[in-house]
Structure 1
């Protein structure tokens, strides 16, 4: 790799040939680097991405993964995936080389997710843990399938979370009528539970209600 000085601008640039994914010989020129080192490092990273060299870091591979997958996915689907990559995966794996990430590294990451607690002391839901692991595994599967990574360390590390949420328990009508009878002496609670039960609202939806949301004339 070589970098060249642009005497007129006082900056450095790189100019080189590479083969793209179709096998075509292409020329690449990139200007405006302040130092020779910056220029050569940029060329090195570019060549790794084009050559699908799994010596690249996880963070660098995420860029390649984004380039490959983003055009194929619906916008909202990609936003969900990108959020998990940015907030749950990159902070842990960003500077690790893809070829050096082992099952033990995945297990340590799993344990961190399991031990997480929010400001109210609540952990991640098992279904959310499953989603996080699925996204991480999908990225490594992509590396195995298209970038010659030997194996997926997420598979070796074993499962995380649950695919299905815990079964929800519902009151029968008879059970609800017994309950509501017991809170008749508490007007606010009584009215709140009546609306929640008979209208099928969530708590957040109830709290967001305003008088304008209710049609008193038609009783709806």
Structure 2
């Protein structure tokens, strides 16, 4: 890698070469550093990411995680994951070396999130806390499974929050019979619903007998 100053603009840049997954030698650059120190810090992190060394910061490993995972999920799913990570995880762990984060650090992070209240006094819902923790766990799992991180501190710390059961609406027998009458002129749909409804009722009755 080469770090140098653009005399025309006074801005520092880094030019570096790397070998991609096809074995091809590539060259790229990063511009916009106000000082040489900033350029050197970025250069060091880039070298660690290229070599997949876990001496890198958590924020740098998130970029590795993003490159590995983003194309494997729906765009909307990734946007949701990324928002949680960037707003609730990176501000706390971003500058820490990922290999040095311990379970006690995760617990301190959990406690801070669970104690949070906005200007109206509202805290984070329990299911949202669980979702946040799941994203941290997923990143550490990726580091364990593919980059030789010794263990997952988020898993060791244990989760926070919990899932809120979703309410389910069920037809009463009378409601279903009214519905089925309206469906009789559509035989295929009628018999399909008949099987689904009455088979479900039979399973429920059988469950009550066993219980």
The question of a shared fold, defined as TM-score above 0.5 by the shorter chain, is answered with yes
Structure-2 residue corresponding to 1:108: 108
SS at match of 2:144: helix
Structure-1 residue corresponding to 2:65: 65
Q: Distance in 2 between matches of 1:26 and 1:128?
A: 42
TM superposition shift of 1:126: 1.5
TM superposition shift of 1:50: 1.1
SS at match of 1:3: strand
Taking a change above 3 Å as real, the CA distance of residues 113 and 19 of structure 1, as seen in their structure-2 partners, is: same
Structure-2 residue corresponding to 1:46: 46
Verify the 8 A CA contact 1:14 1:31 in the aligned structure 2.
yes
Gap regions ≥5 residues in structure 1:
169-220
TM superposition shift of 1:106: 0.4
Aligned residues: 168
Q: Give me the TM-score of the superposition, normalised by structure 1.
A: 0.64
Structure-1 residue corresponding to 2:143: 143
Tell me if 1:77 matches 2:82: no
TM superposition shift of 1:19: 3.4
Structure-1 residue corresponding to 2:203: none
Verify the 8 A CA contact 1:58 1:90 in the aligned structure 2.
yes
SS at match of 1:48: helix
SS at match of 1:117: coil
Q: Distance in 1 between matches of 2:128 and 2:7?
A: 55
SS at match of 1:149: coil
Verify the 8 A CA contact 1:103 1:157 in the aligned structure 2.
yes
Q: Distance in 2 between matches of 1:122 and 1:11?
A: 45
Verify the 8 A CA contact 1:2 1:40 in the aligned structure 2.
no
Verify the 8 A CA contact 1:18 1:47 in the aligned structure 2.
no
SS at match of 2:18: strand
The one-character-per-residue Cα deviations of 1:120-144 (angstroms, maximum 9, x if unpaired) are 3222221111111111101111111
TM superposition shift of 1:71: 2.0
Gap regions ≥5 residues in structure 2:
169-211
TM superposition shift of 1:114: 1.3
TM superposition shift of 1:64: 1.8
Q: Distance in 2 between matches of 1:7 and 1:115?
A: 50
Structure-1 residue corresponding to 2:97: 97
Taking a change above 3 Å as real, the CA distance of residues 24 and 113 of structure 1, as seen in their structure-2 partners, is: same
